[in-house]
Chains A and B, each alone.
Chain A
Amino acid sequence: MQHDPNNHGGQHVSARPAVSAERVTKRFGQGTADVRALDEVSVSVARGEFFTLLGPSGCGKTTLLRCIAGFETPSAGRIHLNGKDITDEPPNRRRVNTVFQSYALFPHLTVAQNVAFGLEMMGKPRAEVSRTVDRMLALVRLDQLAARRPEALSGGQQQRVALARALAPQPEVLLLDEPLSALDLKLRKEMQSELKRLQHETGITFVFVTHDQEEALTMSDRIGVMSTGRLLQVGPPREIYNRPVNRFVADFIGETNFIPAMAQGGQVRLASGEVVGESAQAGPVTVAIRPEQIRLSEPGEVGGIPATVEGATYLGTDSHIHLRLKDGSPVVARVPSLPSAEPGPAPGSSVGLRVAPGAVQVLED
Chain B
Amino acid sequence: MTSGAAEAAGLRRRTRAGWLLSTPALVLLAAGAAGPLLVVLVFSFLSQGEYGGVSLPFSGEAWFRIFLQRDIFDGTVSAADAHLAIFWRSVWISLATTLITFAMGLPTAWFIATRPPGQRSLWLFLITIPFWTNLLIRTFAIMEVIRNEGLLNTALLSLGVIDQPIQILFTDWATLIGTTYVYLPLMVLPLYAAIDRFDMRLLEAGYDLYASRWSVLRRVILPLVRPGIVAGCILVFIPSLGAYVTPRILGGGKNMMIGNFIELQFGQARNWPLGAALSMALMVVVMAALLVYVRVSAREGRDD
Contact = CB atoms under 8 A, between A and B. Distances in A.
Chains A and B directly touch (beta carbon < 8 Å)? yes
Interface of A: 25-27, 30-31, 34, 73, 75-76
B3 interface: yes
Contacts of B7: 30
A233 to B, nearest CB: 27
A interface, by DSSP: helix, strand, loop or mixed? mixed
B4 A30 contact: yes
Interface in B2-58: 2-4, 6-7
- 9 tightest Cβ-Cβ pairs between the two chains A and B: A75-B3, A27-B3, A30-B7, A30-B4, A73-B6, A75-B6, A76-B3, A75-B2, A34-B3
Contacts of B2: 75-76
A27 B2 CA distance: 10
Contacts of A31: 4
8 contacts: A25-B3, A26-B3, A30-B7, A73-B6, A75-B2, A75-B3, A75-B6, A76-B2
A264 to B, nearest CB: 46
A354 B86 CA distance: 98
Contacts of A73: 6
A261 B4 CA distance: 46
A127 to B, nearest CB: 39
A26 B6 CA distance: 12
B132 to A, nearest CB: 28
A217 B7 CA distance: 38
B266 to A, nearest CB: 51
Interface residues of B, number: 5
Contacts of A26: 3
Given A75-B6, A76-B2, A76-B3, 5 more contacts: A26-B3, A30-B4, A30-B7, A31-B4, A73-B6
A25 B2 CA distance: 11
A75 B7 CA distance: 9
Interface string B221-263: 0000000000000000000000000000000000000000000
B180 to A, nearest CB: 43
Interface in B120-136: none
A75 B1 CA distance: 8
Nearest to A27: B3
Contacts of A75: 2-3, 6
A316 B61 CA distance: 92
Contacts of B4: 30-31
B8 to A, nearest CB: 8
Nearest to B7: A30
A26 B3 CA distance: 8
A347 to B, nearest CB: 42
Contacts of A34: 3
A27 B6 CA distance: 11
Nearest to A76: B3
Contacts of B3: 25-27, 34, 75-76
A72 to B, nearest CB: 11
Of listed A31, A34, A75, residue having the most chain B CB within 10 A: A75
Nearest to B10: A73
A334 B192 CA distance: 58
A209 B126 CA distance: 50
Interface string B110-151: 000000000000000000000000000000000000000000
Nearest to B4: A30
Among B3, B4, B6, the one with the most A-chain Cβ atoms within 10 Å of its Cβ is: B3
Nearest to B2: A75
A34 B3 CA distance: 10
B153 to A, nearest CB: 56
Nearest to A25: B3
Among A25, A26, A73: residue with most chain B CB under 10 A: A73
Interface string B168-203: 000000000000000000000000000000000000
A118 B287 CA distance: 51
B2 to A, nearest CB: 7
A310 to B, nearest CB: 42
A26 B4 CA distance: 11
Nearest to B11: A30
A63 to B, nearest CB: 13
A138 B154 CA distance: 76
A34 B4 CA distance: 10
A75 B6 CA distance: 8
A75 B3 CA distance: 5
Nearest to A29: B7
Nearest to A31: B4
A31 B3 CA distance: 10
A31 B2 CA distance: 12
A75 B10 CA distance: 12
A23 B158 CA distance: 92
Nearest to A88: B1
Contacts of B6: 73, 75
Nearest to A34: B3
B232 to A, nearest CB: 34
A132 to B, nearest CB: 35
